[in-house]
Amino acid sequence: MQERIGINDKLGQISVAVAGSASEIAAKIAEDHNGCGTSGGSGKSSCGSGAGAGDLAPEIWEKVKNHPCYSEEAHHHYARMHVAVAPACNIQCNYCNRKYDCANESRPGVVSEKLTPEQAAKKVLAVASTIPQMTVLGIAGPGDPLANPEKTFKTFELIAKTAPDIKLCLSTNGLALPDHIDTIANFNVDHVTITINMIDADVGAEIYPWIYYNNKRYKGRDAAQILTDRQLQGLEMLTARGILTKINSVMIPGINDKHLVDVNRAVKSRGAFLHNIMPLISSPEHGTVFGLNGQRGPTAQELKALQDACSGEMNMMRHCRQCRADAVGLLGEDRSAEFTTDKIMAMEVNYDGDTRKAYQAEVERKRQEQVAAKRDELSELAGLHSDIKMLVAVATKGGGKINEHFGHASEFQIYETSVDGAKFVGHRRVDLYCQGGYGEEDALDTVIRAINDCHAVFVAKIGGCPKDTLKQAGIEPVDAYAQEFIERSVIAYFKNYLEQVESGAIVHQPKGDAAIRQGAYVAA
Ligand code: CLF
Ligand code: SF4
């Protein structure tokens, strides 16, 4: 609580100092980020989700340092959970089917158990006792939290009383946001996500068939105009209160993909801290309008190209897992099945703030080891000059280490490496190769397709058969850094690669760049 009061005081001072103008406050927040707010991530001094302790003003760092969505570094170490207390929604998105979770913050096609605020509070305590590195509670659906304000805020009230060390987080479509700013601030909700897919009502009319606002249903362009006005107004109001905002945007090729560069500029100028551009997930079996009309989602390369184009404008989140409205655990893992309502109600909960604190101190110690290892290896690159950039894939199950077997990986983290260091740029979901004792050839094909723009794949262990197939596909399997820290290993590998190129032992073959250039969304 002390921490939150300090931060809000600081941001409150900023508000007073610049006479309350949201754009001036936004500029001040960017300035306090050591001036790197517009530089994007270079790998050496990136801001936003990729930023480290030295890159942000201390007050901002305190807010984001253990939030797995707002800090890329934190997502290796800290967990979040969602409670599905908000079933209703006040708008219709063409990528959503009401039978399933909210697609803004969840994977469509997975039905949540809906909870009462009291059940939710019990669940939070149960998870917090079992997973002491769970630091953030988010409400993200399955509908819109602010279309269910009583349930949402009752849940926050109960948790603020019983588990005050847990950060509160909210994700909304923004339509009702301006009506709830005071309540959000009063509950010390430090982090708010708004899903903004457009700032042009003509684009919006292709995404939103209707909204329900002030007891009236609006359709088409009128609906989209009200929605965008309310979203941007809500963002400005949050900025004026010093509440950190993340903007989620769903990238829909042919509809809003190029337009998202304009959205990016608009939200940055209004003080958004982070922009998370996510791929449309669309399948006929989800029963959504886009699923049924064949609207495709972007490729991984198209998504990266757009994120890269926008990273010159502001801080981009690239580690989002589009999690369920009842997700539990580290991003990328799903422990929700351990905490069903039946199991929670039968659980003896022993919420002990001191035990959690001690555990998190140990997590911090390990995290600092990782940061120091990266810094040491980075110094090895000092003075080197080369235009070579490459992507590598990494199999990890957390802790910032290469600690997953190739066959057990359900996703690979992607790092871009150059003489500037190693920068996390995304993740790719894959089918499991290992199917209980034997390798699945079809799955291997999907893995290769998913990472075919990578030069190498770093794993804790890999069998001879997939090793050979990967090599034939031009992807080097690397198991020499098993159980080592990711960034340090990637940098060491890259340095060695450069030395071999310079000595003539190997010839560098660019990979993936052409595909990335084809999908270029160049920020003018
Ligand atoms: Fe949840 Fe969202 Fe808060 Fe995170 S998720 S409400 S900000 S605590 Fe995170 Fe999940 Fe992506 Fe959301 S990875 S879908 S960005
Ligand atoms: Fe669905 Fe969420 Fe859109 Fe509402 S805001 S229609 S729940 S995706």
Does the structure show a pLDDT above 50 at 514?
A: no
Q: Per residue in 437-453, is it b (16+ CB within 10 Å) or e — as a string?
A: eebbeebbebbbebbbb
Does the structure show a pLDDT above 50 at 509?
A: yes
Give the per-residue pLDDT at 39: 26
Of 378 and 361, the structure prediction assigns the larger pLDDT to: 361
Domain stop point among 341, 365, 397: 341
Does the structure show a pLDDT above 60 at 189?
A: yes
Residues 422, 445 share a domain: yes
Tokens read off for 453: 């723009």
| Range of the structural domain that residue 369 is part of | 354-518
Give the per-residue pLDDT at 98: 63
The per-residue pLDDT for range 271-287, each reduced to its tens digit, is: 999 999 999 988 888 88
Residues 474, 329 share a domain: no
Is residue 245, in this structure, part of any structural domain at all? Answer: yes
Give the per-residue pLDDT at 463: 87
Report the nearest-CA residue for atom 6 of ligand 1. Answer: 138
Comparing CA positions, the residue from 167, 162, 215 lying closest to residue 68 is: 167
Q: For the sheet containing 79-82, what is the strand order?
A: 274-279, 244-251, 191-195, 167-172, 134-139, 79-82, 328-329
Give the per-residue pLDDT at 140: 87
Comparing CA positions, the residue from 414, 417, 425 lying closest to residue 451 is: 414
C-alpha–C-alpha distance, residues 452 and 454, integer Å: 5
Residues 162, 287 share a domain: yes
Give the per-residue pLDDT at 13: 33
- DSSP codes joined into one string, 260-311: HHHHHHHHHHTT-SEEEEEE----GGGT-HHHHTTPPPPPHHHHHHHHHHHH
Q: Which residues contact 90 (CB under 8 A, 6 or more apart)?
A: 144, 147, 173, 175, 176, 211, 212, 213
Residues 333, 448 share a domain: no
Does the structure show a pLDDT above 50 at 44?
A: no
Considering only 64-78, 168-182, 325-339, which range has the smallest mean pLDDT?
A: 325-339
Domain stop point among 341, 371, 403: 341
Nearest atom in ligand 2 to the alpha carbon of residue 172 is: 5
The per-residue pLDDT for range 419-453, each reduced to its tens digit, is: 988 988 888 888 877 766 666 667 788 888 889 89
For residue 148, give the ligand nearest its CA. 2
Give the per-residue pLDDT at 338: 87
Residue written as tokens 């990986």? Answer: 409
Does the structure show a pLDDT above 80 at 394?
A: yes
Q: Is the CB of 325 under 6 A from ligand 1?
A: no
Q: Is the CB of 104 under 6 A from ligand 2?
A: yes
* Count of Cβ atoms closer than 10 Å to residue 155 Cβ: 28
Domain count, the chain: 2
Considering only 320-334, 358-372, 473-487, which range has the smallest mean pLDDT?
A: 320-334
Comparing CA positions, the residue from 388, 391, 387 lying closest to residue 300 is: 391
Give the per-residue pLDDT at 240: 96
Terminal Cα-to-Cα distance of the chain (whole angstroms):
43
C-alpha–C-alpha distance, residues 7 and 13, integer Å: 10
Q: Tell which one of 82, 90, 91 to mutate to probe ligand 2, the residue whose CB is within 8 A of the most ligand atoms.
A: 91
Q: Tell which one of 173, 193, 252, 280 to mutate to probe ligand 2, the residue whose CB is within 8 A of the most ligand atoms.
A: 173
The per-residue pLDDT for range 103-139, each reduced to its tens digit, is: 555 544 344 578 899 999 999 999 998 898 999 999 9
Please compute the mean of the pLDDT values over residues 154-162 and round it to a whole number. Answer: 95
- Give residue 382's Cα distance to chain centre: 30
Does the structure show a pLDDT above 50 at 297?
A: yes
Query: 90 C-alpha vs ligand 2 centroid, how far in Å?
Result: 8
Q: Tell which one of 100, 144, 286 to mutate to probe ligand 2, the residue whose CB is within 8 A of the most ligand atoms.
A: 144
Residues 380, 297 share a domain: no
* Count of Cβ atoms closer than 10 Å to residue 192 Cβ: 27
Q: How confident is the model at residue 348 (pLDDT cuts 50, 70, 90)?
A: confident
Q: Give, as one character, the DSSP assignment of residue 346.
A: H
Residues 314, 430 share a domain: no
Q: Percentage of the chain with pLDDT > 90?
A: 48
Is residue 421, in this structure, part of any structural domain at all? Answer: yes
Residues 226, 95 share a domain: yes
Query: 101 C-alpha vs ligand 1 centroid, how far in Å?
Result: 13
Q: How confident is the model at residue 52 (pLDDT cuts 50, 70, 90)?
A: low
C-alpha–C-alpha distance, residues 450 and 65, integer Å: 30
Residues 393, 335 share a domain: no
Residue written as tokens 């982070």? Answer: 274
pTM, rounded to two decimals: 0.79
Return the axis-axis angle of helices 22-32 and 220-241, rounded to nearest 10°.
60
Query: 171 C-alpha vs ligand 1 centroid, how far in Å?
Result: 8
Is residue 53, in this structure, part of any structural domain at all? Answer: no
Q: What angle do CA 459, 460, 462 make, to 5 degrees?
A: 70
Considering only 205-219, 246-260, 346-360, which range has the smallest mean pLDDT?
A: 346-360
Is residue 5, in this structure, part of any structural domain at all? Answer: no
The per-residue pLDDT for range 440-497, each reduced to its tens digit, is: 667 788 888 889 899 999 999 998 888 999 999 999 999 999 999 999 999 999 999 9
Is residue 26, in this structure, part of any structural domain at all? Answer: no
Domain stop point among 292, 320, 341: 341
Q: Is the CB of 83 under 6 A from ligand 1?
A: no
Looking at residue 403, which CATH number applies to its domain?
Answer: 3.30.420.130
Report the nearest-CA residue for atom 6 of ligand 2. Answer: 92
Q: Is the CB of 60 under 6 A from ligand 2?
A: no
Is residue 18, in this structure, part of any structural domain at all? Answer: no
Is residue 27, in this structure, part of any structural domain at all? Answer: no
For residue 227, give the ligand nearest its CA. 2
Q: Percentage of the chain with pLDDT > 70?
A: 83
C-alpha–C-alpha distance, residues 381 and 487, integer Å: 13
Q: For the sheet containing 411-418, what is the strand order?
A: 421-429, 411-418, 390-394, 454-458, 476-478
Query: 84 C-alpha vs ligand 1 centroid, how far in Å?
Result: 13
Q: Is the CB of 97 under 6 A from ligand 2?
A: no
Residues 299, 432 share a domain: no
Please compute the mean of the pLDDT values over residues 362-380 and round it to a whole number. Answer: 84
Residues 358, 332 share a domain: no
Average pLDDT over all residues of the chain: 83
- In the chain, the amino acid numbered 184 is I
SS3 label, residue 248: strand
Residues 408, 295 share a domain: no
Query: 256 C-alpha vs ligand 2 centroid, how far in Å?
Result: 17
Backbone phi, psi, residue 124, to 5°? -60, -45
Tokens read off for 259: 């337009």
Residues 182, 290 share a domain: yes
Looking at residue 112, which CATH number applies to its domain?
Answer: 3.20.20.70
Is residue 15, in this structure, part of any structural domain at all? Answer: no
